[in-house]
Amino acid sequence: MICIIAGSHQEAWVWARGKELDKDEWFYPSSIEDLYKRENFHVIVTGTAYAHADFELMYRIARERGKRNRKW
């Protein structure tokens, strides 16, 4: 699973389509609460994600949650 942190859902969708990902292979967290519902994923930052006020916090939480229950 891939978490795409982007400026909007549309931006995330365009990136995922460019990589030929199916909808069940990625998600776009529209809020920090969305990240707390998931675990074991990779994080991609694309587009204008850096412009969001909560970007640093969202990125940190995504990295922490993404590592949970990961099998090495």
pLDDT at 72 over 70: no
Secondary structure tally for the chain: helices H, strands E: 3, 3
**Predicted local confidence at residue 54, as pLDDT:** 87
In eight-state DSSP terms, residue 51 is G
The rounded distance, in Å, linking the Cα atoms of 68 and 71 is: 9
The rounded distance, in Å, linking the Cα atoms of 68 and 51 is: 27
For the chain, which residues make up each domain, given as ranges? Answer: 2-67
71 contact partners, CB below 8 Å, separation of at least 6: 40
Q: What is the pLDDT of residues 16-66, one digit of tens each?
A: 999 999 999 999 998 999 999 999 999 999 989 988 778 999 999 999 999
More confident residue, 65 or 72: 65
Q: Is the pTM of this model over 0.85?
A: yes
